[in-house]
Chains A and B, each alone.
Chain A
Amino acid sequence: MSWYHPHSVRRRAAAVRVITVTVFGILALAFFRAQVLSTRRYRLQSEQNRLRPVWLPAARGVITDRNGVVLADNVPGYSVAVLASALDSLRSTLHTIAPIANLDSARIEGLLQRFQRTPHEPLVLRQDASFELVAALEEQRVVIPELLIQTEPKRSYPHGEIAAHVVGYVGEISEEELTSGLLPGAHRGMLMGRDGLERQYDVRLRGRDGVRFVEVDALGRTVREAVEATTLKPQRGDTLRTSLDIELQHFIAEVFPRGQRGAVMAMDPRTGEVLALYSSPGFDPNAFVGGMDPDEWHALSHSEDQPLFNRAIGGLYPPASPWKLAVAVSALKRGAAGLDSHMEIPCRGGLLYGNRYFRCWKEHGDLSLREAIQFSCDVYFYQLGLKLTLDNLLRDAVDMGFGERSGIDLPGEQLPLFPRSNKYYDEQYGRGGWTNAVTLNLAIGQGENSQSLSNMVRFYAMLASPTGAAPAPRLVAEESVPLRSLHMSPAALAELQDALVQVVRTGTAAGARIAELEIAGKTGTAQNARGPAHGWFLGFAPADRPAVVVGAIVEFAGHGSDVAPLVTRIIARHLLGPDAPPPGSGELEFMLPSDSAPAPRRLLPDTSPLSRPPA
């Protein structure tokens, strides 16, 4: 019999009706129980609105360096809150404790407004109360029974300024974030990672806050734990083990020229592990714990030095001479030149192109590509750039990753400013409004090109690798990290690495060499319209099997600062240990990376007017 026979359909229709009525009948019974049988109890609860959720903050996960040294930890702290029942009683309570808790009238008004928005949540007065305040308030407890004092884990950063940018800091959730509805389970007073690792891995570090429900009487006094709701214990966040080496970080902070702005980044080119990431000047992340006072925040965020700003990933600088290697890679790949090729015009201290004279920092004479890298000759690279043509140069550089971020696992990495094709120039200057002179500027790493230190370090990690491929920099290990490759033959790459060894052996960074260690690297001086040039050095070692790449940028280092020895000292400290001899034999020799470049026609944003929205 077909299933659609009217007889069988009728039978099943009846069954469906019975099921529907039965199920809805059960629902009705449940409502009958709640609304008719138990209504007195619920009505009482509803009238008094006695239940209050009290959050039990979870301890955030600990952040450690690669050896388990703690970078961010928790210490006990106190929070002070009021369980208020009505606006008037709250007002009088606040006025009673105002002299003790140091509340001004503006703050009291703010608290009252907050109470009106969320009348049934405890009103937190201080997230980070001192022991003295807690003791003083406890004495008043008889007069102010609605006080709620809890011990809560409080974030602490034992290394303070040294690792402030990379570790980051935490702050209380803002009103906008709360109402945005984007954060599941968010509640007032919750701590959120605001920068660095704290922000990047916030979800893993945060843990889960616990909650207990307390019943309060009409005066706001805590009566007892509520019967119907269970207390949930907070769950601590995950421990985050990073690849940082805090000892190396300390060493970098020690040797970094005092009072100067800049950044240093050290990375293992084989794994992408970031060993150190330092930005100067620093700030004390402990000052953010428990809320920063507005004046202090204003001073920090408006300081000319921009201490909150992580220059290693957020600062964009003209990449200058270190970028000549990108031109060299492009030339080798396209067969436009070999390491022994000479250019038509030898260096006489400059090159006449069109009606403009492009200077070199020195008269180098007739050089091969190897020597041009070693002595950082601009005239050679002007001609090499012209030979490659602008189109090819831009395309190859974009392939090498100069148009993208390095991909480090930190928030706030800046996208490099780099033209993806020559259309950019048309848009910038209008069609025909620019000449091939931009190729000359580009070939020596000036012009419309600004890179972050992290991206340059990644480029040098590729140069350091025997295969020309390097993973994205990582602070926390991840199963698969994207690789970026130069796609060039290992033989050509080896020759290029040898040229970089020559830079430190006898070239522009000879003063920074270290007898025990073969270091390869490249100096650079980035022209800067706002003052002395910025100094670059990117190096890796040991040259035959690179285990570390270190890059440094020191702003306005033009006067006597020594970026190359700074980097080689850091490399030596990492590879040879704390007893490593300083660069140069015995005496520390100061060597200015003096491969200057002519001022470009127009310089894209440098680091001085850096602006960053407050977290």
Chain B
Amino acid sequence: MKDTIHPNPGENVVEEDLSAIPVRVDQVTKQYFGDKFTAVDNVSLDLKENQITAFIGPSGCGKTVTLRLIAGLEYPSFGRITCFGETVRGPGPERGMIFQAYTSFPWLTGLENVAYGLKINGVGKEEREEKARKMLKLVHLEKFEKTLPKEMSGGMKQRVAIARTLAQNPKLLLMDEPFGALDAQVRWEMQEMMIEIIERERKTVVTVTHDIGEAIYLADRIIFFTRQPGKIKADIPVEFKGGRRYPRKEEMMLLPGYVELETRLFAMMREEIHGRVS
């Protein structure tokens, strides 16, 4: 694992061309309360372009913190994160983020919400509304242009948030348990919608989840975090899908290899829960 990040440990890392790597997390440690609590412990990883990576692990394993560090919403205590060669020094529109909490602005209609990001970045009214309409269609909300979030269901609010993030055409899509607040049937619908969108828009995606089934369905690569301190326990390519993405979840579940991977992840999760005193 380490070898893929630093092919030649003796060489100066700075000279390496990072502009083709969507995200490099380089020996990142995140501590809180001075140095009393280490949430992320010396984590290194590279993300590949157009890949969906899932961060999975028990609660308190540092998966969300790592995502927030990539988003620039927090800063690492040690190490460095680069996004296409640029050191991350704060949040920016090229790294779009979707949160577990509903973040569609309640004072804006569906269309205004989706156009918001474009508006604050100086895109003209007609252009941004046209783009926003397209994005609403992508999340199947074309009939809810004028609807306020208070009249929407949780799933619809979350779809507005997804459309709003995508409207800015981010290079990187970061999702922090995006469907965690939704009920099981809506969550499953949203997962399939997400696959459809990512397949169409060709995005590099990182999603944080504690749902093993969701991780396997969405991801091309699963990174399993371990708890206290937060380290990478395993880096698992999802090989049984053969690089394909399935618009229907049950189609993927019928593939040989699905159950094996799910079982393996369950076993790892059990080991995490029972293997440590916390």
A and B together in one complex: no
Task: List residues of B whose CB falls within 8 A of some A CB.
Answer: none
